[in-house]
């Protein structure tokens, strides 16, 4: 067995867990365990008891009085979705990116062809980020502003935090490749085949999203747990409002010269990165599918988070 995350089950506990092997000798393991259930991470210390077809450990100091049985399989075999959330398959296709009725930065409207990819059905949550902190993969533990953690979207994380700590850690422990979406992928997925301002139409309506003027119970107050509103046609939640979402793209003041293949535009002012979707404290205009915003790559804000994508 090597260092890394593996799947496990704990007697008298109903759901699977993951544990991290930190050090390995011929007959001894030093292990951190994280039982991921109800959006809570519980840390355990374990002592190796038996080595057969299954590895059996005693939970030391946990007060549970039970054993841990571990299958020697990678994390992706069990419990991976607890770390990544559900990844939704987005079909490839073409669309008109931008808006002729928007600002200069939303023009010129141009046709973009986007290959198929996968996108997280929700933003990354505090529970998922906190697992990275508990495992030692992330040094930054973001504040929740007193709103709660768990399945609320993680906020107060910068582009640099995400791309230098969280995503490298996630890729290492899962053996897969996750990244931030390009602007084109984000807008294509947010529109989900529509050409209107929002994926449900041209009017903001009431209780369709969380923003300053969306008619929800949390307008201009705080974030809400993910999946609090209906999904779009692709099965993606909260593409409009709740929290801004970081993308890969550097800031350009118009679409002149923008890629037409769906890839990130990684030139111009790369000290700033593009944010999409609007947030709990922005007015509906900022929630439009075409709207573009940006911030410094090192900036942390209580209305900015992110979601993951994967290529096929």
Tell me which of 78, 110, 135 is where a domain ends. Answer: 78
Q: How far does the chain reach from its first CA to its final CA, in angstroms?
A: 29
In terms of Cα–Cα distance, which of 158, 308, 187, 195 is closest to 258? 187
23 and 130 fall within a common domain: no
* Res 175: pLDDT: 84
- What is residue 242's three-state secondary structure? coil
Give the closest residue to 227 by CA, choosing from 39, 60, 72: 39
pLDDT of 255 reads: 97
Q: One digit per residue, pLDDT tens: the chain, 312 residues?
A: 344 444 454 445 544 444 444 333 323 333 444 433 333 444 443 333 333 323 333 333 333 333 344 433 433 433 567 788 999 999 999 999 999 999 999 999 999 999 999 999 999 999 999 999 988 899 999 999 999 999 999 999 999 999 999 999 999 888 899 999 999 999 999 999 999 999 999 999 999 999 999 999 999 999 999 999 999 999 999 999 999 999 999 999 999 999 999 999 998 889 999 999 999 999 999 999 999 999 999 999 999 999 999 987
User: CB within 8 A of 107, min separation 6: which ones?
Assistant: 98, 99, 100, 254, 255
**In terms of domains, do 73 and 89 share one?**
no
What is the spatial distance between Cα 75 and Cα 69, in angstroms, rounded to a whole number? 14
Query: Tell me, what's the pLDDT at 49?
Result: 31
Contact 209, 241 (CB under 8 A): yes
Strands 55-60 vs 40-51: parallel, antiparallel or unpaired: antiparallel
* Tally of domains within the chain: 2
**Greatest distance between any 2 Cα atoms in the chain:** 68
> What was the pLDDT predicted at 74?
39
Same domain, 49 and 153: no
Residues 244 and 197 in one domain: yes
Same domain, residue pair 8 and 148: no
Among residues 17, 51, 78, the one where a domain terminates is: 78
Q: Are 213 and 261 members of one domain? A: yes
* Pair 202, 305 in one domain: yes
Instruction: Identify whether residues 214 and 301 lie together within a single domain.
Output: yes
Full strand arrangement of the beta sheet holding 269-276: 293-296, 269-276, 244-251, 304-305
In angstroms, rounded to a whole number, what is the distance separating the alpha carbons of residues 132 and 225? 20
CATH number for 182: 3.90.1580.10
**Cβ–Cβ under 8 Å, residues 56 and 49:** yes
Q: If you search the block for the tokens 């931030």, which residue do you land on?
A: 180
Out of 61, 78, 95, a domain closes at 78
> Are 52 and 198 in a shared domain?
no
The reply to whether 190 and 290 lie within a common domain is yes
Cα separation, 19 vs 35, whole angstroms: 8
How many of the other CB atoms lie within 10 Å of CB of 287?
28
Q: What is the H or E stretch that residue 244 is in?
A: strand 244-251
N residues, the chain: 312
Decide if 72 contacts 55 (C-beta within 8 A).
yes
Tell me the Ramachandran region of residue 170: left when phi exceeds 0, alpha when psi lies from -120 to 50, beta otherwise.
alpha
Kindly state the DSSP code that residue 194 receives in the 8-state scheme.
Answer: -
Same domain as 98, residue 48:
no
> Could you tell me if 154 and 43 lie in one domain?
no
Q: Which domain holds residue 146?
A: 83-311
| Nearest CA among 231, 120, 272, 124 for reference residue 186 | 120
| Residue 59 confidence (pLDDT) | 36
């Amino acid at each position: 067995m090597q260092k890394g995350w593996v799947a496990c089950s704990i007697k008298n506990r109903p759901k699977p867990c993951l544990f991290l092997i930190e050090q390995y000798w011929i007959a001894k393991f030093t292990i951190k365990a994280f039982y991921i259930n109800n959006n809570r991470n519980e840390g355990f210390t374990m002592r190796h008891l038996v080595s057969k077809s299954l590895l059996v450990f005693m939970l030391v100091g946990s007060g549970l009085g039970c054993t841990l049985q571990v299958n020697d399989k990678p994390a992706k075999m069990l419990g991976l979705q607890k770390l990544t959330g559900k990844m939704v398959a987005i079909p490839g296709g073409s669309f008109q990116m931008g808006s002729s009725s928007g600002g200069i930065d939303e023009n010129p409207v141009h046709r973009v062809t986007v290959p198929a990819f996968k996108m997280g059905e929700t933003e990354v949550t505090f529970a998922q980020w906190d697992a990275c902190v508990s495992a030692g993969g992330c040094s930054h533990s973001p504040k929740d502003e007193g709103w709660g953690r768990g399945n609320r979207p993680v906020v107060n994380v910068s582009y640099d935090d995400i791309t230098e700590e969280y995503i490298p850690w996630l890729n290492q422990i899962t053996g897969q490749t996750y990244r931030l979406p390009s602007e084109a992928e984000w807008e294509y997925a947010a529109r989900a085949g529509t050409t209107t301002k929002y994926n449900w139409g041209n009017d903001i309506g009431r209780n369709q999203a969380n923003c300053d003027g969306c008619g929800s119970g949390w307008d201009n107050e705080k974030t809400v747990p993910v999946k609090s509103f209906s999904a779009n046609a692709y099965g993606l939640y909260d593409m409009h409002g709740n929290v801004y979402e970081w993308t890969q793209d550097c800031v350009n003041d118009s679409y002149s010269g923008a890629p037409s293949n769906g890839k990130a535009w990684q030139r111009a002012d790369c000290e700033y990165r593009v944010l999409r979707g609007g947030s709990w404290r922005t007015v509906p205009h900022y929630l439009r599918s075409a709207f573009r915003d940006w911030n410094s790559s090192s900036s942390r804000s209580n209305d900015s988070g992110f979601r993951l994508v994967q290529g096929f």
